[in-house]
Every structure is written in C-alpha cells, then in structure tokens.
Homo-oligomer: A and B are copies of this chain.
Amino acid sequence: MPPKIKVQASDIVEAALALVREQGAEALSARAVAARLSCSTQPVFSNFPNMDALKEAVVSAVYARFQEAVQAELSRKAMPSYKAYGMAYIEFAKEEPHWFRFLFASARSSQESDVNHWSQMLLMTPVNGERAEQFHAAMWIFVHGLADLVLSGRLELTREEISALITDQYTHWYYTEKEDAT
C-alpha cells in the first residue's frame, strides 16, 4: 500500500492562489508551488496533467473568491444595487490587483465569468423593457473600465470619488429614462 498522501490537489491550488495573489500570474510555476508546500514538483504533476490545467483550476478558484467578495459586500446592504455591485467590483480590483488581472487576463469566451456574474443584476435595472439590457451593459462597461483604469494607476481616485462616479453614471441614465417616459 502506498504511503499517506501528503499533498492534495486543494493544497496545490491554494499555494498557487497565494503565489498569484502576492506576486502575480508570472510567478506561478511548478517549482514555486512546490517550494511553498515544501515538497518536490512531483505532486503537482500527479494531481494535474500539466501546468495549464493547474492554471485553469486557479482561475476558477480566484473567480470563486471574487464572487464571494462581491456577494459578501452585497449582503451587507438591504437590497443589492448596481452601485453596491460596482463598488464591490472595484474594491476587489484594488485590494487584490494580481487576482483581478489574472482573472480577466484569462480571456475565456463570453459564456463564462462576469457575464453570468452581471446577469443576476439584470433584475435590478431601474429602467424597463428593452432599455434594461442597454442600461445593464452600460453599467458593466463603466464599472469595468473604472476598475481597469484605477488598477493600472492611470486614474487615482479615492473611494468617495469612485462612489460619486458610479452614482453619476447611474443617475444620468435613470433621469434620462424618466424624462423619456413622461
């Protein structure tokens, strides 16, 4: 019978997660993971067919953390709103820049990740009918652009300024729609 398992797949993913979090995507290598677990590189390749598979697992794990963070932020509010959603989105990007970059650099198809993510918000649009999807898209685009610009340092904003920008974006749409309706 074989010896007890010392290193499990979850340990490997967790170590990889920490590596990416602290040093970014390019620090993720078989040897770096092994060093963090104080083992050889062998367990990495017995738990995963190759490094790409591990990377995929790490992407999923980061995505789970991302959703957790956003949901935690939302549950603190009485009712989820686009503003709370956007703030949580950008907070995550600011607090975990390497994770955020890693997540959105892995260019998956449009089925995955934040499409599903945002789609739950479609029920919350303040506008009705066919304009709902356009409002939804506009908010998504704006929040994502804001996150990217803040993350890259091209825009330096306080939390209050970010909050004000999202509010503005929201209300400009909202008011215009109301004007149109009357």
Contacts and interface: CB of A to CB of B under 8 A. Distances in A.
Interface string A139-162: 011111110110011111000000
Given A175-B179, A176-B175, A176-B176, A146 B154 contact: no
A149 to B, nearest CB: 6
B172 A114 contact: no
Interface residues of A, number: 34
Contacts of A142: 138, 141-142, 145
Contacts of A115: 154
A123 interface: no
A104 interface: yes
A169 interface: yes
23 contacts: A104-B148, A104-B152, A107-B153, A107-B154, A108-B153, A110-B156, A115-B154, A134-B165, A134-B168, A137-B165, A138-B165, A138-B168, A138-B169, A140-B145, A140-B149, A141-B165, A142-B145, A143-B145, A145-B145, A172-B172, A172-B176, A176-B176, A179-B179
